[in-house]
Amino acid sequence: MNNIYIKKHDQIIKYLYRWLGYYICLLVKKLPITPNFLTLLRFPIVVLGGYSLYINDFYLKYLACFFFILFSVLDSADGILARMKNNFSTLGSWLDIQTDRCGLLIMIISISLSNLKLNSNYFYILLYFITFVLLLIKDFEQEDLRNNKKLFKLNDCIKKFK
């Protein structure tokens, strides 16, 4: 089934997230919900996921997985909703990038703290943070205002205020 709102992706999991996000958007497109609202809704979801992971309970770890998956699905849904409603904004593009970064930080911190609570093996915590730093370096390089086509308008606005 071909759909104009779902971009193709080589990774199956991301393609699945986009399909799930599409069906969420079908449910909310007639409601007064904006893509930026979906983006901001991801913050409490990832915080709840991080907290659920930190608490040492078997069932809450499954709930944390659900929240982290919902975080990713809503990442796809905000872009799809923007295409459905033809409601694009430079703020929304920037906000989406920052939400991804903060969400990844919260996930790494909650995994690290959960592991620290379970045992005192600092090697894994160090490994998590090294991985996070490497991801951030890669992320900042790719999503720099000078290189990101989505954020050219924001870059122009910043130049005007200098």
**CATH label of the domain that carries residue 123:** 1.20.120.1760
Q: Is residue 69 part of a domain?
A: yes
Which of the listed ranges 46-60, 121-135, 137-151 does the model predict with the highest average pLDDT? Answer: 46-60
Nearest to 22 by CA among 3, 46, 47: 3
Q: Is residue 7 part of a domain?
A: no
pLDDT value, residue 115: 78
Instruction: Quote the domain boundaries for residue 51.
Output: 12-161
Better-predicted residue by pLDDT, 141 or 73: 73
Q: Is residue 58 part of a domain?
A: yes
Alpha-carbon distance of 117 to 113, in angstroms, equals 6
Q: Is residue 116 part of a domain?
A: yes
Alpha-carbon distance of 1 to 78, in angstroms, equals 21
DSSP structural state of residue 7: -
Mean pLDDT over each residue of the chain, to the nearest integer: 80
Alpha-carbon distance of 9 to 40, in angstroms, equals 24
* pLDDT, tens digit (0-9, with 9 covering 90-100), for 68-98: 999 999 988 988 898 888 887 888 888 888 8
Which amino acid would we find at residue 73? V
**Taking 70 as the threshold, does the pLDDT of residue 55 lie above it?**
yes
Report the number of distinct structural domains present in the chain: 1
Q: What is the pTM of this model?
A: 0.75
Q: Is residue 146 part of a domain?
A: yes
Q: Is residue 5 part of a domain?
A: no
Nearest to 35 by CA among 72, 75, 8, 63: 75
In the chain, the percentage of residues whose pLDDT exceeds 90 is 19
Which amino acid would we find at residue 24? I
Better-predicted residue by pLDDT, 131 or 121: 131
**Taking 60 as the threshold, does the pLDDT of residue 141 lie above it?**
no
And the tokens for 120? 């005192």
pLDDT value, residue 73: 92
Q: Is residue 1 part of a domain?
A: no
Alpha-carbon distance of 67 to 54, in angstroms, equals 13
Q: In the chain, count of helices (H) and strands (E)? A: 6, 0
pLDDT value, residue 1: 43
